[in-house]
Amino acid sequence: MIKRFSPFSLMLRGSRKEFDRPLVMGILNATPDSFYAGCRASDDEAIAARVRDIMGQGGDIIDIGAYSTRPGASDVDAAEELNRLTRAMAVVKREAPDAITSVDTFRAGVARAAVEELGVDIVNDVSGGQLDKAMFSTVASLGVPYILMHMRGTPATMQQFTEYDDVTSDVVAFLAERIAALRDMGAGDIIADPGFGFSKTLEQNYEMLAGIEQFHTLGVPLLVGVSRKSMIYRLLGTTPAEALNGTTVVNALALAAGAHILRVHDVREAVETRKIVMQAGSCHDLANN
């Protein structure tokens, strides 16, 4: 059964843009230590090549991260994070000036500078506003779309906090509470991210995947980011480098359940997955009319 896709819209650069298909967000890690080496781009030439790959393969959004959130990653201060983002955005604007961009940061000051000074379109916060209490008021004042992700603790400690009554219901409840708080502050577009791989055991990740349609009760677009994560390669007994096939399977399941955005390392494969699922969904609709 393929869920009918629900079109959505985002306020981007002062105008509302409508989307009638899921979006593919390509990851650009302007870091030397992100968990998947294939998407690290810490110099201008590597950043430019990655931007060309994302856009050339059909990506819709470039998600730029300058602080690795993998367990055990080195701490980076705000100044260095912003320096990395500044260099990356300069290359993105040169290579793909019309691309939609998001900044992957949990720091309100970095988010503000990225939007106001660098021209970033979306703020993507892995902490759901918990690591910087100024984040919610900042994104509300900026008026840009905000990706609200579920995580407990910090990237270094998150796997110590995996106790839930029911992981899917608990994460939905957390996101609902945070969405309400954002709405009270006047925030605009909010995108929910269940946080696959963050503060969840392998089994809990698959429990959430099985119940993913529950996240549609939040009434906001749903982002799924599972690309090459440990929930895939540990289950299969492989490595991040060998996790593309498993990633594609999970992305297909997420799309069939109505996901609005896929955050991925491998753009071409995600675009092809989207095309197949959307085609199958269209045929399903025809067969039932």
**Mean pLDDT confidence for 63-79:** 76
Decide if pLDDT at 71 tops 90.
no
Percentage of the chain beyond pLDDT 90 is 83
pLDDT given at position 160: 81
> Which candidate, 242, 245, 147, places its Cα nearest to that of 187?
147
Using pLDDT thresholds of 50, 70 and 90, give the confidence band for residue 1: confident
pLDDT in tens, 226-278: 999 999 999 999 999 999 999 999 999 999 999 999 999 999 999 999 999 99
- Residue 2: inside a domain: no
Residue 206 structural domain = 21-287
**Which member of 40, 200, 229, 274 is catalytic?**
229
pLDDT in tens, 203-230: 999 999 999 999 999 999 999 999 999 9
Cβ-proximal residues to 286 (8 Å cutoff; 6+ apart), any chain: none
What's the predicted TM-score (pTM) here? 0.93
CATH for 91? 3.20.20.20
**Encoding tokens for residue 191?**
């995108």
pLDDT given at position 269: 98
User: Can you tell me the distance from the alpha carbon of 187 to that of 179, in angstroms, rounded to the nearest whole number?
Assistant: 9
Could you tell me which residue, 158 or 20, shows the higher pLDDT?
20
Could you tell me which residue, 72 or 6, shows the higher pLDDT?
6
Decide if pLDDT at 73 tops 60.
no
Total number of domains in the chain: 1
pLDDT given at position 195: 97
Amino acid at 98: D
Coil, helix or strand at residue 60: coil
- Residue 166: inside a domain: yes
pLDDT in tens, 12-31: 999 999 999 999 999 999 87
**Mean pLDDT confidence for 182-191:** 97
- Residue 184: inside a domain: yes
For all residues of the chain together, what is the average pLDDT? 92
pLDDT given at position 31: 79
- Residue 13: inside a domain: no
pLDDT in tens, 105-151: 999 999 999 999 999 999 999 999 999 999 999 999 999 999 999 99
- Residue 5: inside a domain: no
Element (H, E) at 135: helix 135-142
pLDDT given at position 34: 55
- Residue 178: inside a domain: yes
Q: How do strand 15-19 and strand 8-12 relate by DSSP bridges?
A: antiparallel
Using pLDDT thresholds of 50, 70 and 90, give the confidence band for residue 67: confident
| Residue 229 annotated among the catalytic residues of the structure | yes
- Residue 6: inside a domain: no
Using pLDDT thresholds of 50, 70 and 90, give the confidence band for residue 76: confident
Decide if pLDDT at 282 tops 90.
no
pLDDT given at position 153: 75
CB count in 10 Å sphere of residue 118: 19
pLDDT given at position 156: 76
CB count in 10 Å sphere of residue 93: 15
Decide if pLDDT at 41 tops 80.
no
Using pLDDT thresholds of 50, 70 and 90, give the confidence band for residue 157: confident
Strand (E) positions, the chain? Answer: 8-12, 15-19, 23-29, 61-65, 100-104, 122-125, 146-149, 190-193, 223-224, 261-264
| Residue 200 annotated among the catalytic residues of the structure | no
Decide if pLDDT at 39 tops 70.
no
- Residue 270: inside a domain: yes
**Which member of 4, 263, 268, 275 is catalytic?**
263
